[in-house]
């Protein structure tokens, strides 16, 4: 009996390890590299102060796809900050691709919390972002998406890519040797040993922080944040 249990556990470890490295399942990584280049062409329309937790260089790229990106936001990535009362003017997204980008949409989010605990309520959302000029690996390109979301404390900025039942079209660049931050991902039930909000390194073991950030300004925003109303309960943990 003990031998059978050991064999099952070894099979599970081999399966999940192979999935990460080869991208054969619901998540994949591009592999560690030290020669990546960051491209910021045209990324200057957001005037607030930039905040991020990476060291301005990236060594890998991560993605969920297929059953890993189920609605409403399973398979999302986020990075958390605690800056007090500010307006999140724009989200900053460092992405890369390996040739499969086909304009699948992504939704951009700001969630409450994320520093002292997992992200919570959705505060703001921008739906259906497409037409991104994403760099090819090993380049990472910076993309600025206007949000306009007032926060009062901890917040997590991130995105959900609509790769449901298809392969990933792009990857989020990842810092694997920096000081670290507060990277999060929301794992769909039934595809991994754990589910819900988890630190990214639960799945991608070397992650220190994600290529995600924001531009912030003090005071109220002139842009309108989208209200969730009756559907907000869909996003409770």
> For the chain, which residues make up each domain, given as ranges?
26-235
pLDDT digits (tens, 9 = 90+) for 153-206: 999 999 999 999 999 999 999 999 999 999 999 999 999 999 999 999 999 999
> Does 110 score more than 90 pLDDT?
yes
Local confidence band at 6 (pLDDT 50, 70, 90 cut-offs): very low
In whole angstroms, give the CA distance from residue 79 to residue 110.
Answer: 10
Average pLDDT in the 209-228 region? Answer: 69
Closest CA to 212 of 67, 114, 102, 85: 114
Local confidence band at 43 (pLDDT 50, 70, 90 cut-offs): confident
pLDDT digits (tens, 9 = 90+) for 132-159: 999 999 999 999 999 999 999 999 999 9
- What per-residue confidence (pLDDT) applies to 19? 37
**In CATH, what class is 26-235?**
mainly beta
Number of CB atoms found within 10 A of residue 130's CB: 10
């Amino acid at each position: 009996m003990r031998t059978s249990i050991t064999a099952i556990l070894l099979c599970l470890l081999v399966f999940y390890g192979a999935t990460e490295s080869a991208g054969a399942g619901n998540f994949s990584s591009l592999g560690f590299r030290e020669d990546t280049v960051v491209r910021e062409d045209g990324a200057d329309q957001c005037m607030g102060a930039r905040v991020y937790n990476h060291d301005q260089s990236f060594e890998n790229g991560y993605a969920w796809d297929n059953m890993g990106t189920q609605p409403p936001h399973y398979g999302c990535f986020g990075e958390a900050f605690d800056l007090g009362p500010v307006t999140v003017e724009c989200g900053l997204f460092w992405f890369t691709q390996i040739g499969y980008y086909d304009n699948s949409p992504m939704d951009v989010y700001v969630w409450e919390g994320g520093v002292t605990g997992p992200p919570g309520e959705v505060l703001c959302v921008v739906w259906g972002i497409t037409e991104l000029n994403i760099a090819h690996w090993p380049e990472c390109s910076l993309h600025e998406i206007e949000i306009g979301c007032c926060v009062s404390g901890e917040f997590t900025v991130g995105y959900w890519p609509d790769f449901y039942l298809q392969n990933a079209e792009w990857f989020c660049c990842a810092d694997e040797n920096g000081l670290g931050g507060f990277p999060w991902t929301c794992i769909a039930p039934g595809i991994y040993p754990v589910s819900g909000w988890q630190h990214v390194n639960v799945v991608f073991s070397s992650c220190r922080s994600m290529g995600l950030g924001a531009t912030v300004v003090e005071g109220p925003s002139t842009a309108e944040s989208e209200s969730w109303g009756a559907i907000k309960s869909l996003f409770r943990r």
